[in-house]
Amino acid sequence: MHIELIGSTSAGKTTLAKKMVEDGIKNGAKVFLSDDFMLDQLHLNWIRNEFIRRRLVEAIAFVVLFTCLSRYKKFIDFVVLEGRNSPGSWFYKINRIRNVLRKIGIFEFIAQRSGPEQLVLADNEGILQGVHNLFVHQHSQADLKQVARYVELAPLPDVVLYLQQEEDVLISRTLARGHGRVKSAQDTVRHFISQAVSVFNEMVELPVIQRKLMIVNGQLHIHYTDEISGDKSFHRVAELVQKGSLLPS
């Protein structure tokens, strides 16, 4: 099962994902972060250097991407066009495009290799999180119609976990930790976070996402949509979220 955690920067996606994996392993479940799953499948998980691991994952993702270019042509064309039209220098435009295209390769690898008993968690490497790369900028306004088009064209995971958090909390965390795409000025960060929250709030209202959606708020309370309330696989994910959230930080 492919589970993607989405939300604004500083929402806690990576922290929760790691705790879910920790709890799953303690209880004998096959739960992986996306990077670990990819390297494990290729018998490379013995490599501990984080820089090398990230480069390997990126290389694997682009190899997989090249094997399925025709399948994702419309989506790739859309990503390239939106990236070219986004604000900033050409270096940043190319980097945004590269980040989203890498996510396609990661998605496809997980889709090909994972089974129903394996829970693979993608946080910042998830395909839907790509809207943050492509549409959220420190000055301009996001085009929400293009966000909907992105979702229409993108391949989707089995479950979408949306981590919601109060904007003031997100702003405070981002100011404290910094972000590579935004200057550390309060007004700039506030605009950046507000854009991110607007983009994700709009995206999760789309019917195709509603059919896969679980919302986790700042207190780690979980809300299902009515469409999935009877699905046992979603309850399995919810249990993992709740147990993971109780682990010590």
HEC readout, 204-232: CCCHHHHCCEEEECCCCCEEECHHHCCCH
Average pLDDT over every residue of 43-57: 95
Q: Tokens for 135?
A: 């549409």
130-161 confidence digits (pLDDT tens):
999 999 987 778 888 999 999 999 999 999 99
More confident site: 97 or 185? 97
Q: Check residue 231 and give its pLDDT.
A: 74
> pLDDT band at residue 249, thresholds of 50, 70 and 90?
very low
Are 30 and 24 a contacting pair, CB within 8 Å?
yes
Spacing of C-alpha 121 from chain mean position = 9
* CA–CA dist 212, 2 (Å, integer): 11
* CA–CA dist 179, 177 (Å, integer): 7
Are 36 and 124 a contacting pair, CB within 8 Å?
no
Q: Tokens for 232?
A: 């046992």
More confident site: 176 or 231? 176
Are 32 and 22 a contacting pair, CB within 8 Å?
no
CATH superfamily, with its number, for domain 2-246: P-loop containing nucleotide triphosphate hydrolases (3.40.50.300)
Q: Which of 153, 11, 7, 188 is nearest to 82 (CA)?
A: 153
Average pLDDT, the chain: 90
User: Is residue 98's pLDDT more than 50?
Assistant: yes
Tell me what percent of the residues of the chain surpass a pLDDT of 70. Answer: 96
pTM: 0.91
User: Is residue 71's pLDDT more than 70?
Assistant: yes
Question: What's 135's DSSP letter?
Answer: H
Q: What is the CA radius of gyration of the chain?
A: 17
Residues in the chain: 249
208-241 confidence digits (pLDDT tens):
999 999 999 877 788 877 777 677 777 788 888 8
Exposed, middle or buried, 143 (CB in 10 Å: 0-12/13-18/19+)? middle
Average pLDDT over every residue of 180-208: 88
Q: Check residue 245 and give its pLDDT.
A: 63
> pLDDT band at residue 178, thresholds of 50, 70 and 90?
confident
Give, in order, the Cα–Cα distances in Å from 237 to each of 13, 190, 218, 223: 15, 32, 18, 12
> pLDDT band at residue 243, thresholds of 50, 70 and 90?
confident
Average pLDDT over every residue of 198-216: 93
> Mapping DSSP to helix (H, G, I), strand (E, B) and coil, where does residue 111 land?
helix
Average pLDDT over every residue of 5-16: 92
Tell me what percent of the residues of the chain surpass a pLDDT of 90. Answer: 66
User: Is residue 80's pLDDT more than 80?
Assistant: yes
> pLDDT band at residue 103, thresholds of 50, 70 and 90?
very high
